[in-house]
Amino acid sequence: MTLDASTHGDVLVISLHGQLIVGNRQALKQRVLDDIDSGTRKVVVDFSNTGYIDSSGLGVLVSLAKRLRELGGDLRLANLNADLRTLFELTKLDSLFQIAESREQALAGF
């Protein structure tokens, strides 16, 4: 998994390329935590190029969202495929995140 980061106003957008799983979750976590330390409070994670996520990947998203909300911000998700949506529904994490159909929709809601 690799990730690209860009900023849109005050929103950090992270695009993942590959699966978000136990072996690489720390890369995403550290990248976002570093940006939080620099003042970022709004984050969108774009899953256009991700096939699946495991429980560790889900856990990192939960942890980062919790941290950002404690600081008055949020972490939102965009472009989930049907499998990813199923994972969020099975774990009921769809109730914890704002899930947008597109990056633009996620940005517009911030």
Characterize the bridge pairing of strands 2-8 and 74-78: unpaired
- Residue selected from 2, 6, 7, 55 as contacting another protein according to rule CB under 8 A: 55
Task: Tell me: does residue 105 bind another protein (CB under 8 A).
Answer: no
Q: What angle do CA 91, 41, 17 make, to 5 degrees?
A: 55
Site residues (CB under 8 A) for another protein, limited to 25-54: 51-54
Cα 79-32-17 angle, rounded to 5 deg:
40
71 binds another protein (CB under 8 A): no
Task: Select 13 or 64, whichever has its Cβ closest to another protein.
Answer: 64
Rounded least distance, CB 84 to another protein, Å: 9
Least distance in angstroms from the C-beta of 37 to another protein:
19
Q: Which residues contact 12 (CB under 8 A, 6 or more apart)?
A: 5, 6, 32, 35, 40, 42, 43, 44
Return the residue of 60, 68, 75, 77 that touches another protein, per CB under 8 A. Answer: 60
User: Counting beta carbons within 10 angstroms of the beta carbon of residue 78, is it exposed (0 to 12), middle (13 to 18) or buried (19 or more)?
Assistant: buried
Residues that bind another protein (CB under 8 A): 19, 21-23, 51-56, 58-60, 62-63, 66, 82-83, 86-87, 90-93, 95-96
